[in-house]
């Protein structure tokens, strides 16, 4: 077994209150389910398929930005840094980064899923034998402390790719990034991917692909609620919908009820009108100015890289 896996915090911090969260979301006026429910094994596979779709530009574009600017990115990260990734790096992005960086002190992936963390750590450590990898099993949205590392490092640089920040309401995103800044300290870095505002049709097509993979990804939530939580959703009576709300600057993913119907859980019934929807995800898009405004209380923008179509941005921010 890989030695670094032994250093894992073996407590799986997955939310014990998931059922309460689900039920309270389904009791709201506008019903809602947490988007973290997407990512079981099936959902993660579907997400990987999404990232390869011709319409889904974010992943491909961010990879292209990293590839074309690796020297500058590497210079921002600097030598001897502790590279901390929010979410464990199973993706090609962290591989590109680790392959292009000057000596870093260690790579520290944080992930809520213990098994995901072990898998990606094992895979990465085979290919990057010279890099110290210290996986930590934590819910990075909750307060946590880094262990006392028995080696020196220059500064902490947090890597937060994929425009995952776009899944939070802006007010929460601001608070969350503020907490990251407080935890890492003045002078630390944040290398973050943020999807940009652009033509509505480009955005909507990315979430309504012609092969229906995103629809399958969205509906997978209902299969999970049935098999893991004990709901009885009739999955044939639900439809995927994704619309760009221009005023709010966000994609809204919904599951739409095709008929009036009841769904029950443990004797509790939840009623849905025909055409009523459950919101499963927001994906906020920012202009560069809006994004700077979001982070300016905690960070200074040091560098912004965008693709030639100005669809996506990768930014290096430093904690002030």
Return residues touching ligand AVJ (CB under 6 A).
Answer: 50, 58, 162-164, 166-167, 207, 214, 281, 283
Give the integer Cα–Cα distance in Å for 279 and 26.
10
Q: State the Cα–Cα distance between residues 188 and 320, nearest whole angstrom.
A: 8
- Min separation Cβ 215 and ligand AVJ, Å: 10
Name the residue nearer to ligand AVJ (CB basis): 163 or 184: 163
For ligand AVJ, the closer CB: 204 or 234: 204
In angstroms, what is the minimal distance from the CB of 164 to ligand AVJ? 5
Q: How far apart are CA 158 and CA 153, in angstroms?
A: 14
Residue number with CB closer to ligand AVJ (135 or 162): 162
As measured in angstroms, the least distance from the Cβ of 168 to ligand AVJ is 10
Assigned token pair, 197: 């505002």
Say which residues have a Cβ less than 8 Å from residue 90's Cβ, sequence separation at least 6: 116, 119, 120, 123
Nearer to ligand AVJ, 167 or 257 (CB): 167
CB 21 to ligand AVJ: min, Å:
18
Q: How far is the CB of 282 from ligand AVJ (least distance, A)?
A: 8
Instruction: Give residue 55's Cα distance to chain centre.
Output: 19
Beta-strand ranges (E) seen in 133-291 are 136-137, 156-160, 189-195, 238-245, 250-257, 261-265, 268-272, 277-284
> CB of 286 within 8 A of CB of 294?
yes
Nearest to ligand AVJ of 207, 272 (CB atom) = 207
Angle, CA 178 vertex, CA 117 and CA 25 arms, to 5°: 65
The dihedral over CA atoms of 45, 48, 53, 56, expressed in degrees to the nearest 10, equals: 120
Q: Which of 318, 9, 282 is nearest to 177 (CA)?
A: 318
Task: Supply the minimum distance, in Å, between the C-beta of residue 284 and ligand AVJ.
Answer: 8
Nearer to ligand AVJ, 217 or 299 (CB): 217
The number of helix segments (H) and strand segments (E) in the chain equals: 10, 13
| Closest separation in Å from C-beta 58 to ligand AVJ | 6
Q: Closer to ligand AVJ at the Cβ: 61 or 188?
A: 61
């Amino acid at each position: 077994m890989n030695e670094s896996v032994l250093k894992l915090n073996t407590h799986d911090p997955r939310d014990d209150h998931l059922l309460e969260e689900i039920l309270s979301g389904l009791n709201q006026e506008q019903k809602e389910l947490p988007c973290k429910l997407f990512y079981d094994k099936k959902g993660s596979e579907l997400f990987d398929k999404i990232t390869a779709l011709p319409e889904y530009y974010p992943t491909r574009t961010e990879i292209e930005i990293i590839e074309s600017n690796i020297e500058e990115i590497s210079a921002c990260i600097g030598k001897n840094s502790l590279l901390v990734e929010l979410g464990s790096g199973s993706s090609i992005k962290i591989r590109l980064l680790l392959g292009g960086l000057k000596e870093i002190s260690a790579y520290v992936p944080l992930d809520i899923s213990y098994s995901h963390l072990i898998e990606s750590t094992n895979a990465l450590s085979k290919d990057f034998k010279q890099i110290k990898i210290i996986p930590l099993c934590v819910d990075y949205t909750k307060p946590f402390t880094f262990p006392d590392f028995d080696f020196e490092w220059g500064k902490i640089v947090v890597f937060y790719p994929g425009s995952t920040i776009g899944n939070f309401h802006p007010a929460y995103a601001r608070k969350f990034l503020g907490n990251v800044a407080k935890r890492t300290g003045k002078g630390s870095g944040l290398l973050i991917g943020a999807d940009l505002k652009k033509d509505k049709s480009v955005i909507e097509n990315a979430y309504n692909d012609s092969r229906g993979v995103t629809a399958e990804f969205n509906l997978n939530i209902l299969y999970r609620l049935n098999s893991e939580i004990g709901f009885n959703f009739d999955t044939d009576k639900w439809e995927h919908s994704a619309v760009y709300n221009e005023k709010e600057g966000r994609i809204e993913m919904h599951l739409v009820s095709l008929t009036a119907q009841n769904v029950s859980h443990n004797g509790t019934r939840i009623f849905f009108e025909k055409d009523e929807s459950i919101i499963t995800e927001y994906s906020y898009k920012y202009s560069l100015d809006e994004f700077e405004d979001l982070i300016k209380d905690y960070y200074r923008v040091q560098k912004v890289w965008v693709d030639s179509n100005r669809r996506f941005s990768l930014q290096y921010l430093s904690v002030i």
